Amino acid sequence: MFHWLEKNPFFFAAAISIVISFAGLIEIVPNFSKAGRPLVDMTPRTVLELAGKNVYMKDNCMACHSQMIRPFKSETDRYGDYSLSGEYAYDRPFLWGSKRTGPDLHRIGNYRTTDWHEAHMLNPPKIVPESIMPAYDHQFENEADIETAYAEAVTVKNAFHTPYGDEFKRTRAAWDAHRPKVLADAKIIAADMKDERVKKAISEGKVPEIVALIAYLNSLK
Protein backbone atom coordinates (compact mmCIF):
# COMPACT_ATOMS: atom_id res chain seq x y z
CA MET A 1 0.00 0.00 0.00
CA PHE A 2 2.82 2.39 0.84
CA HIS A 3 4.38 1.78 -2.57
CA TRP A 4 1.05 2.62 -4.17
CA LEU A 5 0.84 5.88 -2.20
CA GLU A 6 4.36 6.82 -3.22
CA LYS A 7 3.36 6.46 -6.87
CA ASN A 8 0.25 8.63 -6.46
CA PRO A 9 1.33 12.08 -5.19
CA PHE A 10 -2.22 13.36 -4.70
CA PHE A 11 -3.30 10.51 -2.45
CA PHE A 12 0.08 10.57 -0.70
CA ALA A 13 -0.38 14.24 0.15
CA ALA A 14 -3.97 13.59 1.25
CA ALA A 15 -2.85 10.74 3.53
CA ILE A 16 -0.14 12.89 5.10
CA SER A 17 -2.66 15.69 5.68
CA ILE A 18 -5.08 13.31 7.38
CA VAL A 19 -2.38 11.88 9.65
CA ILE A 20 -1.06 15.33 10.62
CA SER A 21 -4.57 16.66 11.24
CA PHE A 22 -5.47 13.68 13.43
CA ALA A 23 -2.22 13.96 15.39
CA GLY A 24 -2.75 17.70 15.77
CA LEU A 25 -6.25 17.22 17.16
CA ILE A 26 -5.00 14.66 19.69
CA GLU A 27 -2.31 17.10 20.82
CA ILE A 28 -4.26 20.37 20.76
CA VAL A 29 -7.85 19.59 21.81
CA PRO A 30 -7.10 18.16 25.30
CA ASN A 31 -4.77 21.06 26.12
CA PHE A 32 -7.25 23.59 24.78
CA SER A 33 -10.02 22.07 26.86
CA LYS A 34 -7.83 22.11 29.98
CA ALA A 35 -6.73 25.71 29.40
CA GLY A 36 -10.34 26.83 29.15
CA ARG A 37 -11.24 25.47 32.58
CA PRO A 38 -11.27 27.74 35.64
CA LEU A 39 -7.94 28.19 37.36
CA VAL A 40 -7.37 26.39 40.65
CA ASP A 41 -9.11 28.15 43.58
CA MET A 42 -10.85 30.53 41.16
CA THR A 43 -14.32 31.64 42.26
CA PRO A 44 -17.06 33.47 40.34
CA ARG A 45 -17.53 37.18 40.89
CA THR A 46 -19.57 38.43 43.82
CA VAL A 47 -22.93 40.06 43.20
CA LEU A 48 -21.40 43.49 43.86
CA GLU A 49 -18.64 42.79 41.33
CA LEU A 50 -21.20 41.58 38.79
CA ALA A 51 -23.11 44.82 39.26
CA GLY A 52 -19.85 46.70 38.67
CA LYS A 53 -19.21 44.70 35.52
CA ASN A 54 -22.66 45.73 34.29
CA VAL A 55 -21.77 49.39 34.95
CA TYR A 56 -18.51 48.84 33.05
CA MET A 57 -20.51 47.55 30.07
CA LYS A 58 -23.25 50.19 30.34
CA ASP A 59 -20.71 53.00 30.17
CA ASN A 60 -18.88 51.19 27.36
CA CYS A 61 -15.50 51.07 29.08
CA MET A 62 -14.43 48.27 26.72
CA ALA A 63 -14.48 50.73 23.82
CA CYS A 64 -11.20 52.19 25.09
CA HIS A 65 -9.82 49.50 27.42
CA SER A 66 -8.91 45.90 26.72
CA GLN A 67 -8.79 43.05 29.22
CA MET A 68 -6.38 40.74 27.46
CA ILE A 69 -2.63 40.93 28.03
CA ARG A 70 -0.77 39.24 25.20
CA PRO A 71 2.37 37.13 25.84
CA PHE A 72 4.80 39.81 24.66
CA LYS A 73 7.52 41.30 26.87
CA SER A 74 6.39 44.85 26.09
CA GLU A 75 2.95 43.99 27.49
CA THR A 76 3.93 41.89 30.48
CA ASP A 77 6.48 44.52 31.54
CA ARG A 78 3.72 47.13 31.61
CA TYR A 79 0.60 45.22 32.63
CA GLY A 80 1.78 42.08 34.44
CA ASP A 81 1.43 38.38 33.63
CA TYR A 82 -0.17 37.60 30.30
CA SER A 83 -3.81 36.54 30.37
CA LEU A 84 -4.80 32.87 30.58
CA SER A 85 -7.97 31.53 29.01
CA GLY A 86 -9.01 29.88 32.29
CA GLU A 87 -9.26 33.31 33.91
CA TYR A 88 -12.30 34.07 31.76
CA ALA A 89 -14.14 30.83 32.59
CA TYR A 90 -16.87 32.60 34.57
CA ASP A 91 -17.11 35.74 32.42
CA ARG A 92 -20.21 36.15 30.27
CA PRO A 93 -19.72 38.03 28.06
CA PHE A 94 -15.94 38.32 27.67
CA LEU A 95 -14.67 41.89 27.81
CA TRP A 96 -11.42 41.41 25.91
CA GLY A 97 -11.91 44.62 23.93
CA SER A 98 -10.34 45.41 20.57
CA LYS A 99 -8.76 48.84 21.08
CA ARG A 100 -6.53 50.52 23.64
CA THR A 101 -7.17 54.21 23.78
CA GLY A 102 -6.48 53.69 27.47
CA PRO A 103 -4.38 50.97 29.14
CA ASP A 104 -5.29 47.32 29.50
CA LEU A 105 -7.20 46.69 32.73
CA HIS A 106 -6.92 42.93 33.20
CA ARG A 107 -4.49 43.26 36.14
CA ILE A 108 -5.49 46.72 37.35
CA GLY A 109 -6.54 45.33 40.74
CA ASN A 110 -2.87 44.63 41.43
CA TYR A 111 -1.65 48.21 41.15
CA ARG A 112 -4.57 50.63 41.60
CA THR A 113 -6.49 51.30 44.79
CA THR A 114 -10.05 52.29 45.65
CA ASP A 115 -9.16 55.91 46.42
CA TRP A 116 -7.19 56.16 43.15
CA HIS A 117 -10.21 54.98 41.15
CA GLU A 118 -12.47 57.41 42.99
CA ALA A 119 -10.30 60.41 42.17
CA HIS A 120 -9.67 59.21 38.62
CA MET A 121 -13.33 58.69 37.74
CA LEU A 122 -14.19 62.15 39.08
CA ASN A 123 -11.46 63.97 37.13
CA PRO A 124 -9.22 61.76 34.94
CA PRO A 125 -6.85 64.52 33.67
CA LYS A 126 -6.14 65.61 37.24
CA ILE A 127 -4.77 62.15 38.02
CA VAL A 128 -3.30 61.35 34.59
CA PRO A 129 -2.50 64.68 32.89
CA GLU A 130 -2.32 63.23 29.37
CA SER A 131 -5.67 61.41 29.74
CA ILE A 132 -8.52 62.13 27.32
CA MET A 133 -10.97 60.06 29.37
CA PRO A 134 -14.18 61.90 30.32
CA ALA A 135 -15.34 62.27 33.91
CA TYR A 136 -17.95 59.84 35.20
CA ASP A 137 -19.56 61.95 37.88
CA HIS A 138 -22.96 60.35 37.22
CA GLN A 139 -21.68 57.10 38.69
CA PHE A 140 -21.55 58.82 42.07
CA GLU A 141 -25.24 59.75 41.75
CA ASN A 142 -26.76 56.67 40.07
CA GLU A 143 -27.69 53.61 42.09
CA ALA A 144 -26.27 50.28 40.90
CA ASP A 145 -28.75 47.60 39.86
CA ILE A 146 -27.79 45.02 42.46
CA GLU A 147 -30.95 42.96 42.13
CA THR A 148 -30.35 42.35 38.42
CA ALA A 149 -26.78 41.31 39.22
CA TYR A 150 -28.11 38.76 41.72
CA ALA A 151 -30.53 37.44 39.07
CA GLU A 152 -27.58 37.13 36.69
CA ALA A 153 -25.68 35.04 39.24
CA VAL A 154 -28.68 32.73 39.65
CA THR A 155 -29.06 32.44 35.88
CA VAL A 156 -25.45 31.47 35.16
CA LYS A 157 -25.52 29.09 38.12
CA ASN A 158 -28.47 27.20 36.64
CA ALA A 159 -27.63 27.50 32.95
CA PHE A 160 -23.84 27.14 33.01
CA HIS A 161 -23.22 25.41 36.36
CA THR A 162 -21.22 28.37 37.64
CA PRO A 163 -20.36 27.43 41.24
CA TYR A 164 -22.46 29.86 43.21
CA GLY A 165 -23.69 28.52 46.53
CA ASP A 166 -27.00 26.89 47.35
CA GLU A 167 -28.25 30.19 48.76
CA PHE A 168 -28.50 31.57 45.23
CA LYS A 169 -32.12 30.80 44.34
CA ARG A 170 -34.70 32.34 42.05
CA THR A 171 -36.88 33.64 44.87
CA ARG A 172 -37.47 37.00 46.51
CA ALA A 173 -36.67 35.52 49.91
CA ALA A 174 -33.26 34.34 48.69
CA TRP A 175 -32.47 37.79 47.32
CA ASP A 176 -33.61 39.49 50.51
CA ALA A 177 -31.36 37.16 52.50
CA HIS A 178 -28.36 37.88 50.27
CA ARG A 179 -28.77 41.66 50.09
CA PRO A 180 -27.05 42.33 53.48
CA LYS A 181 -23.93 40.55 52.14
CA VAL A 182 -23.87 42.88 49.13
CA LEU A 183 -24.27 45.94 51.35
CA ALA A 184 -21.47 44.70 53.61
CA ASP A 185 -19.17 44.31 50.59
CA ALA A 186 -20.14 47.81 49.44
CA LYS A 187 -19.32 49.29 52.86
CA ILE A 188 -15.81 47.85 52.65
CA ILE A 189 -15.24 49.66 49.35
CA ALA A 190 -16.90 52.88 50.52
CA ALA A 191 -14.74 52.96 53.66
CA ASP A 192 -11.77 53.91 51.49
CA MET A 193 -13.69 56.61 49.60
CA LYS A 194 -14.13 60.30 50.45
CA ASP A 195 -17.11 61.44 48.39
CA GLU A 196 -19.98 62.46 50.66
CA ARG A 197 -22.59 61.32 48.14
CA VAL A 198 -21.22 57.81 48.42
CA LYS A 199 -21.18 57.92 52.23
CA LYS A 200 -24.78 59.15 52.34
CA ALA A 201 -26.04 56.52 49.88
CA ILE A 202 -24.34 53.69 51.76
CA SER A 203 -25.82 54.90 55.05
CA GLU A 204 -29.25 54.71 53.40
CA GLY A 205 -28.69 51.14 52.23
CA LYS A 206 -28.03 52.10 48.61
CA VAL A 207 -25.06 51.19 46.42
CA PRO A 208 -23.82 53.87 44.01
CA GLU A 209 -22.60 52.70 40.63
CA ILE A 210 -19.08 53.91 41.40
CA VAL A 211 -18.83 51.56 44.40
CA ALA A 212 -19.89 48.54 42.32
CA LEU A 213 -17.54 49.54 39.50
CA ILE A 214 -14.58 49.89 41.84
CA ALA A 215 -15.38 46.51 43.38
CA TYR A 216 -15.23 45.03 39.88
CA LEU A 217 -11.99 46.80 38.96
CA ASN A 218 -10.40 45.69 42.24
CA SER A 219 -11.24 42.09 41.33
CA LEU A 220 -9.24 42.25 38.09
CA LYS A 221 -5.95 40.64 39.13
Is 131 found in the same domain as 30? no
For residues 70 and 143, state if they share a domain. Answer: yes
Domain that holds residue 214: 47-218
Helical spans, DSSP H, in 72-167: 73-79, 114-122, 124-127, 146-160
Residue 30 has pLDDT above 70, yes or no: no
124: domain CATH number is 1.10.760.10
Assess whether 172 and 82 both reside in one domain: yes
Query: What are the backbone angles phi and psi of residue 38, rounded to the nearest 5°?
Result: -60, 145
Q: What is the pLDDT of residues 64-109, one digit of tens each?
A: 999 999 999 999 999 999 999 899 999 999 999 988 999 999 999 9
pLDDT tens-digit map of 125-180? 999 999 999 999 999 999 999 999 999 999 999 999 999 999 999 999 999 999 99
Q: Does residue 33 have a pLDDT over 70?
A: no
Residues 119 and 213 both lie in one domain: yes
Same domain for 20 and 72, yes or no, is: no
Number of domains in the chain: 2
| Predicted confidence (pLDDT) per residue in 35-67, tens digit | 668 888 899 999 999 999 999 999 999 999 999
The answer to whether residue 60 is domain-embedded is yes
Same domain, 122 and 194: yes
- Same domain for 187 and 90? yes
Residue 2 confidence (pLDDT) above 80: no
Report yes or no on 164 lying in a domain: yes
Q: What share of the chain is helix, strand, coil (3-state, %, to 5)?
A: 60, 0, 40
Please report the pLDDT score of residue 12 as a whole number.
78
pLDDT at 19: 87
**Model confidence at 5: pLDDT above 80:** no
Residue 42 domain flag = no
| In a domain? residue 40 | no
Q: In this structure, are 103 and 156 located in the same domain? A: yes
Tell me the pLDDT band of 29, cut-offs 50, 70 and 90. Answer: low
